[in-house]
Amino acid sequence: MQDERDVLLGLYRQMVLIRRFEEASAKAYSQGKIGGFLHLYIGQEACAVGALAALEKRDYVVTTYRDHAQALIRGTSARACMAEMFGKVTGCSKGLGGSMHFFDAENRMLGGHGIVGGHVPLAAGAAFASKYRGDGAVAVCFFGEGSATIGAFSEALNLAALWKLPIVFICENNEYSMGTPLERSLAVADVSQKALSVGIERDRFRCTDVLEVRDRVAVAVKRAREKNEPTLIEALTYRYRGHSMSDPGKYRTQDEIEARKKDDPIARAEASLRGMGASDDELAKINASVEAEVEDCVKFADESAEPDESLIEAFNYA
Amino acid sequence: MRELRYREALREAMAEEMERDERVFIMGEEVGHYQGAYKVTEGLLARFGEKRVIDTPIAEEGFAGIAVGAAMVGLRPIVEFMTWNFSAVAFDQILSHASKLRQMSGGQFTVPIVFRGPNGAAKQTGAQHSHAMETFYAQIPGIKVVVPATVADAKGLMKAAIRDENPVLVLEDERLYGTKGEVPDGDHVAPFGVAAVRRAGEDVTLATWGKMLLPCLDAAEQLAKGGGPSCEVIDLRTLRPLDHHTVVESVRKTGRLVVVHEAWPYGGPGAELVDRVQREAFDALDAPVLRCTGRDASMPYNKKLEDLTIPDAKTVLAAVRAVMAY
């Protein structure tokens, strides 16, 4: 068994990569190199990193438009991710998808979807296919608490429970659906209770300790893989940035944000690593290698070619 | 050749494709134990079992989305909408997911899926159950829209739809389900994007699709018997891809065109066809192109008013006389 310290070092690197990658994205957005919408995951890193650490390569991942972290963790290169946002043909969706639509068939990353909640049935569909073929793959679906109020989510939850599909629903509850705090959108603030209405298992925890996230998601993944039983997990988290780059964030106070930053998942992992005996040098090396990777991916995206006009129609039909 | 009913031809197409490809399955409301709201799937549950003939709860967006997700990772679902009216609550899955996934993933994911069910007005089903939905769907790049009017096409176009790598919408018709017709023996697959001349004629072209083929043929027959103008009747068969070339070729002969459809007059594939024809055959036209369409109103329940809302042989004849008057 891999040493837990090495595992945590790996997960720490993933979290740092996501954060540095997204900081570089925000900079590129402000320089006009990235267009459209850009939704940052900063602050929520332990959720995707911990959850995906519980998966196997054959498993499926489906997420929302806040999708950079999931793609990077699944193995899409930082180059392909950054180039996608720059709208370049070297991007993971050939520059046709953009920030919200990262896809990577090889790594079973089924997207990056822009319609709130609309992707939840798709994830159940991947789980349906897995059960149909009996291939043992599990589907993991990420969505915000803002998706918990739309019909597609409720329908998919019921169908997954009814048909016993191998799926883990992970509600990344970051407390705000765009600018609306959850107490103004959810009649019951505890999203995990929706599991009770369809008779499936649930879990609810704060996403600060990446190893705890991994372990608790692993229980649900095992339940899905071995018993075809879905689980609804409510991962309590917080985004430090606005809903998207165009969000000035006037609906919450700076004090609130600063208070939440004290519970930072990367700082938490760093403290744990030090407790496990990781040295300054070791952590500095990881940070330096991440910075080099991010610098390289921005350069790569900058220098890559635009997609040819012929791609406008090329992929509409198979 | 064998004679089948339209619903039997659809069923035979699905059963044959399920036999040849393990990845094909059907899901929808009442498709299994109830044997299909319109009996199209009758007997399929007994033949293929619950794994492949799947009753769903009333959750069109949910099961349509599940089928799209399953198609993304390699299955080939057939989704029955009890009627196309109810597809409106699954519209997001067709518009923003099924039709978009290939393009926005840079070609990495394809969605080989069939959505099917009866479309348009049945008999006195009122304002919410009488939509001719092709007027919305034919707009969307990334999907194909198929409208079989004959029993042979019910089989051949359905088989082609199931084998297609893209999302295909098959718009059937409750009023056609009981009609009988000849179906070629063997593996009968009909091509997309190839219109059929159902009746040859010289003086005016009637272009139509789906069940409106029937009043067009009726009107053409009445005119032929009464010594009136000779009509060429074209069944478009698929609306996306849309074969306007066959219509243009016909108009070059007749010089006159009437487009007949059940859907509302505002926009839609009928208007698209008119636009293409006026661009490609402007010099051949001896009269403005007219459309004989459903009335611009929500469908009334009253039988007399419903009949007046949908084109029939009488309104087709009036349109033919109008273009002949130029």
Note whether A125 contacts B102, CB cutoff 8 Å. Answer: no
Position A245 scores a pLDDT of 86
Q: Give the mean pLDDT of chain A.
A: 96
Note whether B101 contacts A111, CB cutoff 8 Å. Answer: yes
Q: What is the pLDDT confidence band of residue A248, given thresholds at 50, 70 and 90?
A: confident
What phi and psi, each to the nearest 5 degrees, are found at residue A10? -65, -45
Please state, in angstroms and rounded to a whole number, the distance separating the CA atoms of residues B146 and B168.
7
Which one has a higher pLDDT value, A179 or B260?
B260
Q: What are B116's two structure tokens?
A: 């099917």
Mutate which of A100, A158, A316 to disrupt the B interface (most B C-beta within 10 Å)?
A: A316
Does the N-terminal peptide bond of residue B241 adopt cis geometry, omega within 30 degrees of 0? yes
Interface check A80 vs B, CB under 8 A:
no
Q: What is the pLDDT confidence band of residue A1, given thresholds at 50, 70 and 90?
A: very low
Residues of chain B neighbouring A119 (CB-CB closer than 8 A): 97
Compare CB distances from B75 to A94, A96, A129 and report the shortest one's residue. Answer: A129
Interface check A315 vs B, CB under 8 A:
yes
Compare CB distances from B69 to A96, A122, A315 and report the shortest one's residue. Answer: A122
DSSP symbol at A33: S
- pLDDT cut 90: percent of chain A above it: 94
What phi and psi, each to the nearest 5 degrees, are found at residue B139? -65, -25
pTM exceeding 0.95: yes
Which one has a higher pLDDT value, B16 or A242?
B16
User: Would you please indicate which residues of B are annotated as catalytic (active-site) residues?
Assistant: 60, 129
Q: Give how far A198 is from chain B: nearest CA, Å.
A: 13
Position B266 scores a pLDDT of 97
Please state, in angstroms and rounded to a whole number, the distance separating the CA atoms of residues A12 and A211.
10
Amino acid at A79: R
- pLDDT > 70? residue A43: yes
CA of B261: how far to CAs of A14, B10, B215, in Å? 58, 22, 10
Please state, in angstroms and rounded to a whole number, the distance separating the CA atoms of residues A142 and A64.
7
Note whether B142 contacts A316, CB cutoff 8 Å. Answer: yes
Query: What is the average per-residue pLDDT within A264-274?
Result: 97
- Taking only residues 163 to 222 of chain A, the set having a beta carbon closer than 8 angstroms to any beta carbon of chain B reads none
Please state, in angstroms and rounded to a whole number, the distance separating the CA atoms of residues A269 and A211.
9
Kindly identify which residue of chain A lies nearest to residue B91, measuring between CA atoms: A118
Please state, in angstroms and rounded to a whole number, the distance separating the CA atoms of residues A285 and A80.
23
Q: Give how far A84 is from chain B: nearest CA, Å.
A: 10
Query: What is the average per-residue pLDDT within A133-159?
Result: 97
Say if residues B69 and A128 touch (Cβ distance below 8 Å). yes
Please state, in angstroms and rounded to a whole number, the distance separating the CA atoms of residues B238 and A8.
57
Label the pairing between strands A180-181 and A176-177: antiparallel
Position A2 scores a pLDDT of 60
User: SS3 of A185, please?
Assistant: coil
Note whether B166 contacts A318, CB cutoff 8 Å. Answer: yes
Low-confidence stretches of chain B (pLDDT beneath 50): none
For residue B300, count CB atoms less than 10 angstroms from its CB and return exposed for 0-12, middle for 13-18, buried for 19 or more. Answer: middle
CA of A283: how far to CAs of A266, A280, A294, B92, B244, in Å? 12, 5, 17, 46, 66
* Rg (chain A; Cα; Å): 19
Please state, in angstroms and rounded to a whole number, the distance separating the CA atoms of residues A28 and A266.
23
Position A105 scores a pLDDT of 98
Virtual torsion, Cα B115, B121, B125, B130, nearest 10 deg? 60
Interface check A53 vs B, CB under 8 A:
no
Say if residues B18 and B25 touch (Cβ distance below 8 Å). yes
Q: What are B316's two structure tokens?
A: 């087709």
B293 has which bridge partners? B261
Position B54 scores a pLDDT of 98
Compare CB distances from A158 to B59, B89, B97 and report the shortest one's residue. Answer: B59
Instruction: Return the exposure string of A9-29: e unless at least 16 CB atoms fall within 10 Å of the residue's CB, then b.
Output: bebbbbbbbbbbbbebbeebb
Q: What are A307's two structure tokens?
A: 């997609």
